[in-house]
């Protein structure tokens, strides 16, 4: 079992609300990622981090922001949620010396009304 | 452009039958290749990976995959499917530091 946790698992929220999706891992991995997953589509990388105080935007433009103040914690924030943000968000982590071998959380399914 | 193609959106096989899921990629150099599986309501789990060497790689849960450079393919196989294999399967390629995923193939297993 991978030790990476996401909360909440499900969130239904109104337009304009601020939300934070939490992601924590206990494996000491230096790299962490956020992917967006929609049915029938590729997973799209929206943010990644190679270590504390390091964050980068991924290939898919996203209005969300992330922070990496502690190695184990990589939260994603949406300041003002919109229906277009409705999606599944997957957090993952990996060791730098094992590229491509990602451990995923169970996902946070966000619905914005 | 960097891309990973999984031509089959859905595949249905009978329990006990063999399985092959297709994956093609675009990349000039020798790629790092992966297969992940996602069970309903779960995150993705790594099944197997190919970096170099033997082109037939073994993974967890009885899966294997074969890298064919001439066809730019990395197809996933299993000799005998179990009902618990019903899930979505994602092929992925490491382009530089970024892992690019295909759109996935949903496997249904009928008894």
Q: Does A59 touch chain B (CB under 8 A)?
A: yes
Q: Does B81 touch chain A (CB under 8 A)?
A: no
Q: What does each C-alpha distance from B58 to B1, B38, B49, B63 come to in angstroms?
A: 29, 18, 8, 6
For residue B41, give the nearest of A40, A102, A106 by CB distance.
A106
Q: B46 contacts in A (CB within 8 Å)?
A: 101-103
User: Could you read off the pLDDT of B28-81 as tens digits, one per residue?
Assistant: 677 899 999 999 888 999 999 999 888 999 999 999 999 999 999 999 999 999
The position carrying tokens 């297709």 is B22
User: Could you read off the pLDDT of A40-85 as tens digits, one per residue?
Assistant: 888 899 999 999 999 999 888 788 999 999 999 999 999 999 999 9
Q: What does each C-alpha distance from B70 to A77, A102, B29, B67, B74 come to in angstroms?
A: 44, 27, 12, 9, 11
* In contact, A26 and A72? CB cutoff 8 Å: yes
Is the Cα torsion angle B12, B44, B93, A41 positive or negative in sign?
positive
Q: B101 contacts in A (CB within 8 Å)?
A: 35, 42-43
């Amino acid at each position: 079992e991978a030790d990476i946790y996401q909360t909440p698992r499900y969130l239904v929220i109104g337009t304009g609300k601020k939300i934070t999706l939490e992601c924590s891992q206990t494996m000491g991995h230096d790299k962490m990622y956020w992917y967006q997953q929609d049915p029938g589509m590729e997973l799209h990388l929206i943010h990644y981090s190679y270590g504390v105080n390091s964050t980068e935007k991924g290939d898919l433009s996203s209005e969300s922001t992330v922070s990496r103040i502690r190695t184990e914690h990589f939260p994603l924030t949406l300041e003002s949620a919109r229906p277009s943000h409705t999606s599944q968000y997957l957090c993952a982590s990996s060791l730098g010396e094992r590229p491509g071998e990602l451990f995923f959380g169970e996902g946070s399914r966000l619905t914005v009304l | 452009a960097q891309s990973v193609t999984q031509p089959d959106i859905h595949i249905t096989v009978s329990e006990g039958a063999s399985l092959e899921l297709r994956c093609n990629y675009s990349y000039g150099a020798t790629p790092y290749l992966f297969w992940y599986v996602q069970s309903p309501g779960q995150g993705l789990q790594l099944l197997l990976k190919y970096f170099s060497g033997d082109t037939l790689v073994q993974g967890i849960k009885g899966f294997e995959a074969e890298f064919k450079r001439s066809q730019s393919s990395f197809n996933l196989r299993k000799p005998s499917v179990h009902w618990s294999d019903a899930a979505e399967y994602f092929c992925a390629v490491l382009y530089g530091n970024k892992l690019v995923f295909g759109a996935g193939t949903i496997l249904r297993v009928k008894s």
